[in-house]
Amino acid sequence: MRLIEPDAGEIHLFDRRVMTLKQRSLRRLRAEVGFVFQRHNLVRQLPVLSNVIHGAQSRQSGPRVWYHSLATRQTRERAMHCLDRVGLTALAQRRADQLSGGQSQRVAIARTLMQDPKFVIADEPVASLDPVAGLEVMELFVQLLREDGTTLLFTSHQLEQSIEFADRIVGLQAGRVSLDCPAATASIDELKHVYE
């Protein structure tokens, strides 16, 4: 998405050549792609509901998508629906800095759902969570995106999760594809070779 400009190569997404897009077209394309980062990137001093409403910033601008108290009723209702999908409606008014790691990542997922993306990129979405919370969050995340028919590309160093939650696994070594196979046919030993 050119958050970091590549040194070489081409990127194609939704039949568009990403490297040739001007700022306005790139912004429109970014509105169609949700991001879930390893660090949850919530505004810690704001309530959960405001953080979820921030997901609408890809399609709207101005104060109405900064704070839930300024948002339209329709935007607040949509944000509450997204919180309901991740099981956190009861925490809508809680400040983000009062959440556990698993709750924070669920809010980040709700914020992405609020964006209504066609495609989601997740950078090690559960790496900062304990194993139990990580498994719960990953199960929920994949289930919600499958329900919506949204494509997910996630990076992971947790080999078991790659096999369990991916349809296809692509391994990279030194910037080159070293493995590309259906997850159903992959083995842990085969995936370990990517790290050698």
Do the bridges between strand 176-182 and strand 168-173 make them parallel or antiparallel, or are there none, so unpaired?
antiparallel
What residue ranges define each of the domains in the chain, with the CATH number in brackets? 12-155 (3.40.50.300)
Residue 132's pLDDT is 84
Residue 195's pLDDT is 74
Measured from the Cβ of residue 154, the count of other Cβ atoms closer than 10 Å reads 20
Q: Environment class of residue 113 by beta-carbon count within 10 Å: exposed (0-12), middle (13-18) or buried (19+)?
A: buried
Residue 83's pLDDT is 95
Residue 9's pLDDT is 86
Nearest to 39 by CA among 107, 88, 93, 113: 107
**Residue segments in the chain with a per-residue pLDDT below the cut of 70:** 196
Alpha-carbon span 41 to 32, nearest angstrom: 19
Beta strands of 37-150 (E only): which ranges? 119-123
Residue 153's pLDDT is 92
Residue 186's pLDDT is 87
Alpha-carbon span 176 to 19, nearest angstrom: 19
